[in-house]
Amino acid sequence: MLILECPYCGVKAEETELTAGGEAHLKRYGPGSSDDEFEGYLFTRENPMGVHFERWRHSNGCGKWFHAARSTTTLEVFGTYSAQTTEPPQEIKDKISARHPGWSWRDQS
């Protein structure tokens, strides 16, 4: 059972306090977008073996959404960070690079 630190209240919360919210850093496409753009936004998801960026909510806690960078294979957590951002902080990307040189995820690397 995972532990993730909520960056908003500082609690190292176990999974039963949290709700998983799927892939992070999706760009919303609304009216006016093409069918392909909208389909990509609504349905296409990464399914990596390894580095992944996810959304979690501290639902049985402060109620805030946050982001987590972790490995789907080793379950190593590289860090958690604010949900109010469109890409992972450099510090977390550096940490991933140290563990997994040459990693990439969507347009991140």
Partner 1 sequence: MSTRLAKGGRLIDRSKTVKFSFNGKSFTGYQGDTLASALLANDQMLVGRSFKYHRPRGIVASGAEEPNALVNLGSGVTHEPNQRATTTELFEGLTATPQNVWPSLDFDIGAVNSYASRLLTAGFYYKMFMYPRAFWKHVYEPFIRQSAGLGKAPDAETRDPDTYEHFYAFVDVLVIGGGVAGLQAAKTAADSGAKVLLIEQTADWGGRSLVDGGSIDGKPAVDWIKDTLEALENMPNVTLRNRMMGAGVYDHGYALGYERLTDHAPKVAGPRHRLWRIRAKQIVTATGAIERPLSFAGNDIPGVMLAAAVRDYVVNHGVSIGDRTVVVTNNDDAYRTAIALNEAGLDVPVIVDAREFGGGALMEQAKALGIRVETGCGIAKVHGKKRVTSVDICKQAGEGAVLWSIPCEAVAMSGGWSPVVHLWSHCGGKLNWDDTQAFFRPDASRPPKGDDGEAMVRVAGSANGELGLNAGLQDATAVGQAAAAAAGFEVAAVAPQAAEEPETPIEPIWQMPQGAHYGLRLKSWLDFQNDVKVSDVQLAAQEGYESVEHTKRYTTLGMATDQGKLSNINGLATLSNALGEDIPQVGTTTFRPPYTPISMGAIAGEARGEIFQPIRKTPMHAWHEANGAHFEPVGHWRRPYAFVKSGESVKEAVHREVLATRNSLGLLDASTLGKIIVKGPDAGKFMDMMYTNMMSNLKIGKCRYGLMCTENGFLTDDGVVARIDEDTWLCHTTTGGADRIHAHIEEWLQTEWWDWKVYTANITEQLAQVAVVGPNARKLLEKLGGMDVSKEALPFMEWRDGELGGFPVRAYRISFSGELSYEIAVPANLGRAFWDKLLEAGAEWNVTPYGTECLHIMRAEKGFIMIGDETDGTVIPQDLGLNWAISKKKEDFLGKRAQQRSHMTDPKRWKLVGLETVDGSTLPDGAYAVAEGKNANGQRNTQGRVTSTYHSPTLNKGIAMGLVLNGPDRMGEVIEFAAVDGETMIGAKIVSPVFFDPDGEKQNV
Partner 2 sequence: MSDIATSLNGASFEGITRVEEMRAQGMITLRGDFADPAFVSAVTGLVEADMPGQRQVSTGAERSILWMSPDELMVLCTYAEAPILEAKLRDALADQHALVANVSDARACFELVGGDLREVLAKLAPVDMSPEAFAVGDLRRTRLAQVAGAFWLSSEDKAQIVCFRSVGEYMFNLLKTAAQPGSSVGFI
The footprint of partner 1 (CB under 8 A) covers: 1-3, 14, 19, 21, 28-33, 35, 38, 42, 55, 57, 59, 63-65, 71, 74-77, 83-84, 99
Task: Report, in Å, the least distance between residue 33 CB and partner 1.
Answer: 6
Contact characters 14-33, partner 2, x per CB under 8 A: x-xx----------------
**What Rg value do the Cα atoms of the chain yield, rounded?**
14
Task: Report, in Å, the least distance between residue 77 CB and partner 2.
Answer: 17
**Residue 9 interacting partner from partner 1, partner 2, none (CB closer than 5 to 8 Å by kind):** partner 2
How would you label 41-78 residue by residue, b for 16+ Cβ within 10 Å and e otherwise?
eeeeeeebebbbbbbbbbbeeeebbbbbbbbeeeeebb
